[in-house]
Structure 1
Amino acid sequence: MAPPSAADGLGTRLRHARMVRHMTLKALAEAAGCSESLLSKVEGGHATPSLAMLHKLAIALDTNIAALLSAPAVTSSPVQRASERPSVRFPAARAATPSAKSRRAEGSITLERLVVPSPGQLLQGDIHVLEPLARSDEQIHHIGEELGYVLEGELELTLGDQSYSLKAGDSFYFPSTEPHSYRNPGDAVTRILWVNTPPTF
């Protein structure tokens, strides 16, 4: 069964968050650096933003990506079964200088939720699944800390101006205030156990 699109329920929660803050479509679009047209499509469930754009929208709304993507947890069970793990798929990031080859080659990113986000939660854990050549788009930064462990495949992690090549078995840690991005430089799927606090995605 294919994971749900990031657009599933996102538009409704995004519109609700905007209206609660008494922001117009134009004001939010300007704050996030996107067009009103794109934002309208996202709210209507007709477009899916990149991770970087969703991060900007979350900042502009003084919330986090997890709150925009996830309905409140309906279970108090401390166990999340693999067969019931929710996941969110993001489309391929757009290349800075797009070409027909890059548009065909770049893959998507799927976040498999290890914990369903809930209000007041301080820790978030996901498995980031990167298709070949998938990347997180532009660098982002925010409050918090992050650590990860490469389960399989290759990972290129960029922190500021420094890039690091990691393979299965390697781990990383960095303060989230450091501008960061990542990509799968290989031709096989990469899976990363990724934990951050406070919840961001």
Structure 2
Amino acid sequence: MPKVKSTEKKSYDPKALGAQIRDLRKAKRITISDLAERTNRSIGNISEIERGISAVTVPVLQEIALALDVELNWFFEGQAKAPEKESMWIVRKDNRRILQMQSAGLTEELLSPNLSGPLEFLLTTYMPGAETGEDGRQRVGDEAGLILSGSLELKIEDETFLLKEGDSFSLPRGGKHHCKNPGETNTIVAWVITPPTF
């Protein structure tokens, strides 16, 4: 999927974009004042952006994306206008927000309509050899996953398990785990995380 270039003109709904920024900031446990400091903007300006009151240029959005550790395309994926009656409940396949981490060999798609609810629903694609960092990942919430295709090497604390298509797992908050695709084809995992921690 191509990345959005800064020279492209994009029409967007300021309120929807502001809600995306706010939801992602909260899911990452970042305060408005922290985001303001990271982007060299005032707290009032960040608040106005999140409420859709202040316009957001691409350079400003690039600063916010960098501060929130996502690629710029995160805010442009899923910008298709969903019918109002389903926007809070349903995510159509062609309207998912997608985060591509090419250097890590990972692609994550947000399957839940937003990050402001009690849970986060994700689809992660691991390219062959891709993994979640040597030190693993600390869980701040409860997580569960289902292997939809391929295989996943899952290390929980000191135990390592090889999971295949159809296998599932559940991980309590507070521990660490490490994921790796040991195979030669993509591995796809559906995740449910509560509370959202994207």
Q: Which has the higher Rg, Structure 1 or Structure 2?
A: 2
Structure 1's unaligned 5+ residue stretches are 26-42, 55-64, 94-107
Report what 2:112 is aligned to. Answer: 115
Give TM-score, length-normalised by structure 2: 0.60
CA–CA distance in structure 1, aligned partners of residues 85 and 138 of structure 2: 31
1:43-96 Cα distance to aligned partner (Å, 9 max, x none): 7489799xxxx5xxxxxxxxxx8xxx6699986621111111121111334xxx
Change (3 A) 1:109 1:80: same
CA–CA distance in structure 1, aligned partners of residues 187 and 107 of structure 2: 11
Please tell me whether residue 82 in structure 1 is matched to residue 93 in structure 2.
yes
Structure 2's unaligned 5+ residue stretches are 5-16, 39-61
CA–CA distance in structure 2, aligned partners of residues 22 and 194 of structure 1: 27
CA–CA distance in structure 1, aligned partners of residues 183 and 66 of structure 2: 28
Report what 1:133 is aligned to. Answer: 129
CA–CA distance in structure 1, aligned partners of residues 35 and 127 of structure 2: 38
SS in 2 for 1:83: helix
Deviation of 1:182 after TM superposition, in Å, equals 0.3
Change (3 A) 1:192 1:118: closer
Give TM-score, length-normalised by structure 1: 0.59
CA contact (8 A) 1:4 1:87 kept: no
SS in 2 for 1:21: helix
CA–CA distance in structure 2, aligned partners of residues 181 and 139 of structure 1: 4
Matched AA of 2:138 = H
Matched AA of 1:135 = E
Fraction of identical pairs, as percent: 26
1:4-35 Cα distance to aligned partner (Å, 9 max, x none): 58xxx999x87xx577138866xxxxxxxxxx
Report what 1:91 is aligned to. Answer: 102
1:90-121 Cα distance to aligned partner (Å, 9 max, x none): 1334xxxxxxxxxxxxxx101111113243x1
* Pairs aligned (count): 147
CA–CA distance in structure 2, aligned partners of residues 190 and 90 of structure 1: 15
Report what 2:173 is aligned to. Answer: 176
Q: Map residues 39-118 of structure 1 onto 2, 5 A cutoff.
A: 44=63, 77=86, 78-93=89-104, 108-118=105-115
